[in-house]
Amino acid sequence: MHRQALLKLLGDYQPYDKDERDMYEMLVRFVENEDQCFERELRIGHITGSAWIVDRERSHVLLTHHRKLDRWLQLGGHADGEADVLAVALREAREESGLEAVTPLLDTPYDVDVHPIPARGDEPRHLHYDVRWLLEADRATPLVVSSESKDLAWVALDDIGQLTSDRSIVRMTEKLRAVTL
């Protein structure tokens, strides 16, 4: 069954705090109950894969100023039928940044998040069940801003709060400070 690999990854995952635990439980239930969870056409929500890209020194993270949502976020996107969410995160990282050399730092997810996406056009409000991966890239490599972004920036960990107060971004920043890689 195509969902079993993700359920196994999630089975080994340890949420960071109560908020993430609640979202983790929602995500697991969603994957267990929705056979089409990887399909964007599932209008109640779908799996997405995101990339928390850090530089080699672990002092900066690559963020995108998302065009549609007008917010600074990690890179990522829809699974579009792909059950390998790490492959989704790697694909999205490359497509949205122009970076070719992006390397996973963990063999398990780094973070999970469930967040609402507002209605737009004929697409109703729905949920993104986001599985996030910790990736590394060379900060000196030139970036290419995709059509999905207004901008890309390597942001110092201490400066992230100037761009966003989004709890999930704050959580991933806290995790990075606590992890030794």
Structural domains of the chain, with CATH? 4-178 (3.90.79.10)
pLDDT surpassing 60 at residue 146: yes
Q: Given pLDDT bands bounded at 50, 70 and 90, which one contains residue 1?
A: low
Determine the Cα–Cα distance for residues 115 and 130; give it in Å rounded to an integer.
Answer: 8
Report the Cα–Cα distance between both ends of the chain, in Å, rounded.
33
Q: How high is the pLDDT of residue 179?
A: 76
Q: Given pLDDT bands bounded at 50, 70 and 90, which one contains residue 178?
A: confident
Q: Residues, the chain, total?
A: 181
Q: Given pLDDT bands bounded at 50, 70 and 90, which one contains residue 141?
A: very high
pLDDT mean over 14-41: 97
Ramachandran sector of residue 42 (left: φ over 0; alpha: ψ -120 to 50; beta: rest): beta
CB 132 within 8 A of CB 113: yes
Q: How high is the pLDDT of residue 2?
A: 86
φ and ψ at 145, to 5 degrees? Answer: -75, 125
Determine the Cα–Cα distance for residues 59 and 40; give it in Å rounded to an integer.
Answer: 34
pLDDT mean over 79-93: 97
**Poorest-pLDDT segment among 52-61, 90-99, 118-127:** 118-127
Q: How high is the pLDDT of residue 33?
A: 97
Residue 29 in tokens? 């239930």
Q: How high is the pLDDT of residue 12?
A: 87
pLDDT surpassing 70 at residue 57: yes
Q: How many helices (H) and strands (E) does the chain have?
A: 5, 8
Rg of the chain over Cα atoms, rounded to whole angstroms, equals: 15
Q: How high is the pLDDT of residue 69?
A: 83
